[in-house]
């Protein structure tokens, strides 16, 4: 059973987004207005009652007001649904969609993107905060420079209480005009890189020209690599983005890559997978489909080979783990993506990627 609330309207259906859209052909409209918003903000969430209100308040306080907020509730069992309905009543720019079962983070991320109508798109984790000028500062950059496909302010990590922590030390050369350099910066596995850029403001045209969030560990990093091959990233120097670190988020709740795979896609729970091999295969695939020259693709593959060498032990670990599971003839039972201790499908997919 799926549930859709658009503005003050309520629609229900059986088969998720497609059936809901059939029942309400105007569901993609951000409000009763005829024009599409400049910005669409997707908020995928599962059991996010602790931080969700603060997140939505920070989004509704944006100085750039031409946006829609699309909340996709992945079968929450806490007070998330009640919070979302209150915000739908409060502001017509907020839309709420819900399914009754957890379908994994990948599905939920992509669902918000599928429902978006804006020229620019941003994912917002339910536990993060954005300063009032986040959207405005990024829109200014994207409007001014068509070579930029993604813009994100400098992040400052906060804790459970919202207190600022140490400055984020990673600086990547993703502003380079050379696509192979941008690709290298994303894949090289810089110590401490947490893929915060995936929560920046992205051109919808760039997202439409690339595959969306995959259903495998480190899919956020692969998506960033695809986008980096399409255009430059720009970092707004002001600290306007506040990703929150807490005990229940993905990189802390997930004990290993098998559990993380189940977090991305609940259908993978207990199955034999090769997460490191899959990650590098996806990195390889995204080069071939990019608008780059033959020589630039060669350079990208050389960078990927160097990165793969540093992961040789993890490649071997994947094989050993699969052999052990096959030998014992029993499925592994990782933490369910719907577990109360698991991270929500909105909780900083990128934060988990720091543990590659």
In the chain, where the domains are located = 1-356
Six-digit token pair at 229?
């091959």
SS3 assignment, position 279: helix
Residue 4 to residue 22: CA distance in whole angstroms: 12
DSSP string for residues in 186-246: HHT--TT---GGGGSEEEHHHHHTS----SSTTHHHHHHHHHHHHSEEEEEEEEEEE-B--
Nearest residue to 44 (alpha-carbon basis) of 80, 90, 19: 80
The answer for residues whose C-beta is within 8 angstroms of residue 333's C-beta and 6 or more apart is: 269, 270
User: Would the pTM of this model clear 0.85, i.e. be above it?
Assistant: no
| CA atoms within 13 A of residue 314's CA, in its CB half-sphere | 18
Q: 């509730």: which residue's tokens?
A: 73
Q: How many Cα atoms occupy the beta-carbon half-sphere of 72 within 13 Å? A: 31
Measuring CA to CA, which residue among 86, 125, 97 is closest to residue 10? 97
Q: Are 38 and 66 in contact (CB under 8 A)?
A: yes
Can you name the residues that pair with 129 across neighbouring β-strands? 242
What pLDDT, on a 0 to 100 scale, did the predictor assign at position 356? 34
Give the phi and the psi of residue 6 in degrees, each rounded to 5.
-120, 115
DSSP track, 148-187: EEEEEEEEEEE-TT--EEEEP-----TT-S-HHHHHHHHH
The span from the CA of 223 to the CA of 208, in Å, is 12
Rounded CA gap, 136 and 66, in Å? Answer: 10
Structure confidence at residue 245 (pLDDT):
92
Strands (E), the chain: 2-6, 9-13, 39-45, 67-74, 94-99, 120-123, 129-130, 148-158, 164-167, 201-203, 232-242
Question: Is the CB of residue 139 less than 8 Å from the CB of residue 64?
Answer: yes
The whole-angstrom distance between residue 355's C-alpha and the CA centroid of its chain comes to: 16
3-class SS at 335? Answer: coil
pLDDT in tens, the chain (356 residues): 454 544 433 333 333 333 333 333 333 334 444 589 999 999 999 999 999 999 999 999 999 999 999 999 999 999 999 999 999 999 999 999 999 998 888 899 999 999 999 999 999 999 999 999 999 999 999 999 999 999 999 999 999 999 999 888 888 999 999 999 999 999 976 455 789 999 999 999 999 988 888 888 889 999 999 999 999 999 999 999 999 998 876 555 555 665 655 555 566 566 778 888 998 999 999 999 899 999 999 999 999 999 999 889 989 988 998 888 888 765 544 443 333 333 433 443 344 443 33
CA distance 336 to 342: 7
Helix (H) or strand (E) holding 254: none
Say which CATH architecture domain 1-356 belongs to: Alpha-Beta Complex (3.90)
Q: Give the CA distances from residue 346 to residues 102, 131, 148, 173, 327, in Å, rounded to whole numbers and listed in that order.
A: 12, 19, 25, 27, 35
- Residues 207 and 209: their CA atoms lie apart, in Å, by 5
257 contacts: CB under 8 Å, gap ≥ 6: 217, 273, 275, 276
């Amino acid at each position: 059973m799926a549930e859709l609330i658009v503005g003050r309207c309520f629609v229900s259906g059986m088969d998720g987004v497609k059936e809901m859209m059939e029942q309400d052909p105007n569901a993609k409209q951000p409000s009763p207005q005829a024009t599409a918003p400049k910005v669409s903000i997707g908020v995928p969430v599962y059991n996010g009652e602790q931080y969700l209100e603060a997140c939505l308040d920070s989004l509704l306080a944006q100085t750039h007001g031409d946006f829609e907020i699309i909340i996709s509730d992945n079968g929450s069992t806490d007070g998330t649904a009640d919070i979302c309905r209150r915000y739908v009543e409060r502001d017509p720019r907020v839309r709420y969609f819900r399914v009754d079962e957890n379908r994994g983070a990948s599905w939920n991320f992509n669902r918000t993107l599928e429902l978006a109508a804006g020229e620019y798109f941003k994912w917002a984790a339910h536990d993060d905060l954005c300063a009032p000028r986040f959207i405005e500062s990024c829109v200014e950059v994207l409007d001014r420079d068509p070579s930029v496909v993604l813009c994100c302010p400098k992040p400052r990590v906060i804790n459970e209480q919202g207190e600022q922590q140490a400055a984020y030390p990673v600086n990547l050369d993703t502003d380079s005009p050379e696509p192979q350099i941008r690709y290298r910066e994303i894949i090289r596995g810089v110590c401490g890189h947490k893929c915060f850029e995936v929560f920046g403001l992205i051109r919808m045209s760039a997202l439409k020209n690339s595959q969306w969030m995959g259903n495998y560990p480190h899919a956020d990093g692969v998506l960033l690599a695809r986008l980096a091959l399409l255009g430059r990233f720009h970092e707004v120097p002001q600290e306007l983005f506040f990703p929150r670190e807490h005990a229940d988020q993905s990189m802390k709740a997930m004990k290993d890559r098998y559990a993380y795979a189940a977090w991305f896609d609940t259908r993978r729970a207990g199955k034999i997978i090769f997460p490191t091999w899959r990650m590098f295969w996806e990195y390889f695939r995204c080069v071939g489909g990019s608008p780059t020259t033959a020589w630039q693709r060669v350079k990208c593959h050389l960078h990927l080979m160097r990165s793969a060498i540093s992961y040789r032990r993890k490649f071997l670990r994947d094989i050993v783990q699969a052999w052990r599971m096959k030998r014992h003839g029993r499925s592994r039972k990782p933490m369910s993506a719907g577990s109360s201790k698991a991270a929500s499908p909105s909780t900083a997919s990128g934060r988990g990627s720091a543990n590659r």
